[in-house]
Structure 1
Amino acid sequence: MARHMEPVIILVRPQMGENIGAAARAMLNFGLTELRLVEPRDGWPNPRAVAMASGAAGQVLDRARVFPTLAEAMFDIDYAYATTARGREMTKPVLTPATAMADAHERDARGERVALIYGPERAGLENDDVARANAIITVPVNPDFPSLNLAQAVLLTGYEWSRDRLPNQPAPHGRRPDAEVPATRIEIEKLADHWENRLDEAGFFFPAEKAPGMKLTLRNLWARMPLTRADAQIFHGMLRQLIRRN
């Protein structure tokens, strides 16, 4: 039976605690929680990593394991992807994050344990590190500036791993309850009446023989607009304010 396990994130010789914390946040954004560290420069645990992880992502750091070498960190890994922007002389598949994570899902379905390997911030993975991976992930970015920071690289691959499990559209949040509710026909009729009456008082429908056609056109305009209740309230408020200023 397939194990269906998330990829292991391996940070090789990370230099700054803040970057480890930011990587942990990027991991948890997409449900990744298994972090392994190889020779972190400033030791472990690192209070700066905890501060940057901010809240729930601290659980990723709490579970993080430290290893003296990359080979030891890969003790249970069946297939590994090394992330690097630099060209290599080794013969390995070179994949985008999307194709790599599609491949990783297939391997996971077969019961293989996969890992994503990221190098230190300043210079990236060394050839000896890349040699231990089965494939290379390279992000297709601006060739004049291909550098990504550690958390960005983790975020991109994490997103591609979880993309098929995410909602098709972001859930709205932080809005008033009526912001997404369509206006009813009665609400639109009242809005149309409000504007027609005020425009009539202002002499907008001129000359008189054209007034019926102008009102019909305006009424049709309101009916065509996909208004929410919040939209209707804004239009009422705009008109009231204009009347007050006059």
Structure 2
Amino acid sequence: MPTATPQPAFVLVRPQMGENIGAAARAMWNFGLDRMRVVAPRDGWPSERAVAMASGAGRLLDEAGLYDDLAGALSDCTFVYATTARPRELTKPVLSPEHGMAEAAKRIAAGEKVAVLFGPERAGLENDDIARANTIISVPVNPAFPSLNLGQCVLLTAYEWMRNSGTVVHFEDDPRGDWATGREIEALAAHYEERLEAAGFFFPEDKAAGMKVNLRNLWSRMRLTRADVQMLHGIMRQMVRWKSR
């Protein structure tokens, strides 16, 4: 069974090699983390190579959540960090691993459910993945060689978690505090995409995919409560009713 220690979930998005999943599990357990989620691993699951590489951390692989897509892996989360070493055109707050994990510790102490995303080995997270995150954690690396192994990135982030989680000050972010979950944000995004598609908003066609990613990025950047989500659903429903009169 996972430990009772409050902590973030580390989400491995489309990992490509079992050995790297095992190295990530080992790095997590080195620093007391045991909430692993695996999204669409390339070589299937379970992975014998992951188990062999994990050594004494095989329990994390046995208990890891397996998901077909990122939306499912984040459905119960209220705040999401995305790790990347590459500059992105999406507008989001950017933190170092140190400050990101310090903030994550405060959010978890306040009762939030936090996830940290790690991308596949070849190119890292895609913009569509990052659009689902609230904040980017950018790893300072040599610009001439920015590629980090998945296990290394997990190790670096887990170390900063351990270093920052020992002296946690209660995080006062917003007195409302009833944050929307990933499942609720997904439903809101789908509602707006469906209605805007019907209205011909996503035009021209060759730019539609990018427009949808930017819209989804907007929802995560706004940091919505459940009341906000209900209001935004109501606004769209009323606009549709008004249009049909």
- TM-score between both structures, scaled by the size of structure 1: 0.64
Deviations 1:65-105 (Å, cap 9, x if unpaired)? 11011010001111011011111111101110000011101
C-alpha contact (below 8 Å) 2:25/2:61 kept by paired residues: yes
Cα separation, 2, equivalents of 1:165 and 1:92: 24
Deviations 1:118-151 (Å, cap 9, x if unpaired)? 0000011011000000011111121211111000
Identity of aligned residues (%): 66
Alpha-carbon distance, 1:4 to partner: 6.4
Describe the shift of the 1:73–1:46 C-alpha distance in structure 2 as closer, same or farther (beyond 3 A). same
Which residue identity is paired with 1:140?
A: P
Q: Does residue 1:37 correspond to 2:38, yes or no?
A: yes
Q: Does residue 1:26 correspond to 2:27, yes or no?
A: yes
2:54 paired residue number: 53
Cα separation, 1, equivalents of 2:94 and 2:164: 22
Q: Does residue 1:121 correspond to 2:114, yes or no?
A: no
Cα separation, 2, equivalents of 1:83 and 1:4: 23
SS, match of residue 54 in structure 1: helix
Q: Does residue 1:144 correspond to 2:176, yes or no?
A: no
Cα separation, 2, equivalents of 1:165 and 1:104: 9
1:5 paired residue number: 6
SS, match of residue 83 in structure 1: strand
Describe the shift of the 1:161–1:52 C-alpha distance in structure 2 as closer, same or farther (beyond 3 A). same
Cα separation, 1, equivalents of 2:90 and 2:52: 38
C-alpha contact (below 8 Å) 2:98/2:164 kept by paired residues: no
C-alpha contact (below 8 Å) 1:4/1:109 kept by paired residues: no
2:154 paired residue number: 154
RMSD: 1.4
SS, match of residue 9 in structure 1: strand
C-alpha contact (below 8 Å) 1:5/1:113 kept by paired residues: no
Cα separation, 2, equivalents of 1:102 and 1:30: 15
Cα separation, 2, equivalents of 1:4 and 1:104: 14
SS, match of residue 128 in structure 2: helix
Deviations 1:207-246 (Å, cap 9, x if unpaired)? xxxxxxxxxxxxxxxxxxxxxxxxxxxxxxxxxxxxxxxx
1:133 paired residue number: 133
Which residue identity is paired with 1:71?
A: A
Cα separation, 2, equivalents of 1:76 and 1:17: 26
C-alpha contact (below 8 Å) 2:94/2:136 kept by paired residues: yes
Describe the shift of the 1:75–1:165 C-alpha distance in structure 2 as closer, same or farther (beyond 3 A). closer
2:65 paired residue number: 65
Cα separation, 2, equivalents of 1:109 and 1:65: 23
Q: What are the ranges of 5 or more consecutive residues in structure 2 without an aligned counterpart?
A: 167-245
- TM-score between both structures, scaled by the size of structure 2: 0.65
Cα separation, 2, equivalents of 1:98 and 1:24: 20
Q: What are the ranges of 5 or more consecutive residues in structure 1 without an aligned counterpart?
A: 167-246
C-alpha contact (below 8 Å) 1:50/1:61 kept by paired residues: yes
C-alpha contact (below 8 Å) 2:121/2:149 kept by paired residues: yes
1:178 paired residue number: none
Structure whose CA Rg is larger: 1
SS, match of residue 40 in structure 1: coil
C-alpha contact (below 8 Å) 1:4/1:108 kept by paired residues: no
